[in-house]
Amino acid sequence: MAKPSRVAVFLCAVSSLCAVLSSATVTVNEPIVNGLSWSFYDASCPSVEGIVRWHVTEALRRDIGIAAGLIRIFFHDCFPQGCDASLLLSGSSSEQQEVPNKTLRPEALKLIDDIRAAVHRDCGPKVSCADITTLATRDAVVASGGPYFDVPLGRRDGFAPASKDQVGTLPGPSFEVPMLIQAFKDRNLNVRDLVALSGAHTVGLGHCESFRGRLPPNADDTIDPPFRQKLTAKCSNDPAGTVTQVLDVRTPNAFDNKYYFDLIAKQGLFKSDQGLINHPDTNRTATRFALNQGAFFDQFAKSMVKMSQMDVLTHSAGEIRLNCAVRNTRVSGLEAAGDEGLAADA
Q: What is the pLDDT of residue 240?
A: 79
Q: What is the pLDDT of residues 327-344, one digit of tens each?
A: 997 655 566 554 333 332
Q: What is the pLDDT of residues 108-165, one digit of tens each?
A: 999 999 999 999 999 999 999 999 999 999 999 999 999 999 999 999 999 999 999 9
Long-range contacts of 29-35 (CB under 8 A, 24+ apart): 29/1, 30/302, 30/305, 30/306, 30/309, 32/152, 32/309, 33/309, 34/309, 34/311, 34/312, 34/314, 35/154, 35/312, 35/314, 35/315
Q: What is the pLDDT of residues 26-59, one digit of tens each?
A: 877 666 767 899 999 999 999 999 999 999 999 9
Q: What is the pLDDT of residue 277?
A: 98
Contact of 175 with 272, CB cutoff 8 Å = yes
Domains in the chain, start-ordered, CATH in brackets? Answer: 4-168 (1.10.520.10), 177-306 (1.10.420.10)
Helix (H) or strand (E) run with residue 229 in it: helix 225-235
Among residues 55, 76, 120, 201, which one is catalytic? 76
More confident residue, 265 or 330: 265
Percentage of the chain modeled with pLDDT above 90: 82
Contact of 318 with 84, CB cutoff 8 Å = yes
More confident residue, 300 or 21: 300
Q: What is the pLDDT of residue 6?
A: 44
Catalytic status, residue 76: yes
Q: What is the pLDDT of residue 332?
A: 54
Q: What is the pLDDT of residues 195-223, one digit of tens each?
A: 999 999 999 999 999 999 999 999 999 99
Mean pLDDT taken over the chain: 89
* pTM exceeds 0.85 for this model: yes
